[in-house]
Amino acid sequence: MSKLIVRIAVTVLLTAPPVPAVWNTSPELVHRPVSVSLVPPLSTNWLEAGSVRSNLSVNILGGRLGMLEGVELGGLFNSVRYRVTGAQAAFGASTCGGDVNGAQLAFGAAVAGGTVRGAQLAFGAAVAGEDLYGAQLAFGAAVAGRDVNGVQLSSGVNSCGRDLTGAQFGSVNICEGRNLAQVGFVNIAGTDRFAQLGFVNVADRVAGVQLGFVNIADESDWSFGFVSIAERGRFDVCLEASEAPLGALSLKAGTRRVYNVFTLGWAPGDSARLAAGLGIGLHFPADRWFFDVDATVQSVFTGPEWFGEGSSFGVLTRLRPTAGFRFARWLAVYAGPNLAAWRSDDEDGSRVPLYDLPLATGAEPYYRLWPGFTVGLQVSPDAARN
């Protein structure tokens, strides 16, 4: 994607289409310290503009140079054919067919066909055809065709064609190789080496941390979010029993070390209870043994008619450390003590667990704390198929 953006931007915005073989060559150019242009070819360099090297260039509407070693100011556009060493500033676009060593500033677009060592600042787009060593700041898009060693910051899209050694801050961040840090609404990387922080995080391989609402990876250890999906991760279906509710069906899905819990429980009786909730946990394997610790929050509805008149509502929070043993890759059992906390405006919680052994109680609103337990049978469908 980044390569396509680079090609389009360079082709459209450069006055003379760049030729990769001569982008960074040093041709014999005529040195004229000062160049003034209305619009090419109406300039002090006339038809020789593409073969002139200047230290100061002033363009009323737009201008073209072979090489800039100094400062160029333009109304609508600045166009340098080979290399910029210094600074370009224009209301419309500042473009260079080769490397930029310094700064490009533009309200519209700042474009370099080669490597940028310095900074590009633009309201529209900042584009480096090859590597970036420094910073790109743009309201629309910041794009580098190859490696980024520095920072890309935009309110729109940041794109890096290869590896990112630095950080991307934007609405959408894309790194086709290995990234160091991405912060945005959507983050996409080949390999996450340090961190992805966003609403949606996507990576082939996560060697660092993903923190977001939805995390997706082929392989990951540490992904924290409401939903974390890993191709080589965890997907377990569990049948559980506890002091409250008596039975539950739980789904544990996530990465190799971090998982999400989605649970639906039921307790029979005259005032039957329905409990639905979710949580997050950590998984620590040790050969056939494993240790899990998770925290869950459940909404508990009490009959005789759930959700109807005469029903009550409460919130049950549980901290659950459990130890388990695998009989096979697809089958395991686990058990452990719990710490349960109840809160409700409707009932005191004394009838929620099987037994009444409160550690603490209170009213207005009602709360109750008690010791509990969990035992479960765990089935891993993916492991069973393999």
Average pLDDT of the chain to the nearest whole number: 88
Q: Which range, of 35-44, 65-74, 115-124, 129-138, averages the lowest pLDDT?
A: 35-44
Q: pLDDT at residue 2 above 60?
A: no
Between the alpha carbon of residue 377 and those of residues 197, 248, 259, 293, the distances in Å are 34, 11, 17, 16
Q: Which tens digit of pLDDT belongs to each residue from 54-97? A: 999 999 999 999 999 999 999 999 999 999 999 999 999 999 99
Closest by CA position to 306, among listed 334, 275, 282: 275
Say how far apart CA 299 and CA 64 lie, in whole Å. 68
pLDDT at 383: 67
**244 falls in which pLDDT band (50, 70, 90)?**
confident
| Structure-token match 């160091």, residue found | 180
Q: Which tens digit of pLDDT belongs to each residue from 334-346? A: 999 999 999 998 8
Say how far apart CA 50 and CA 215 lie, in whole Å. 50
State yes or no: cis peptide before 353, omega within 30 of 0. Answer: no
pLDDT at 305: 64
Which residue ranges form the domains of the chain, and what is each CATH number?
2-133 (no CATH), 235-385 (2.40.160)
For residue 313, what are the β-bridge partners? Answer: 301
Q: pLDDT at residue 14 above 80?
A: no
Structure tokens belonging to residue 205? 């391989």
For residue 191, what are the β-bridge partners? Answer: 178, 205
**DSSP letters along 263-304, please?**
EEEEE-STT-EEEEEEEEEEEEEETTEEEEEEEEEEEEEESS
Kindly report whether the global pTM for this prediction surpasses the value 0.85.
Answer: no
pLDDT at 270: 62
pLDDT at 6: 44
**116 falls in which pLDDT band (50, 70, 90)?**
very high
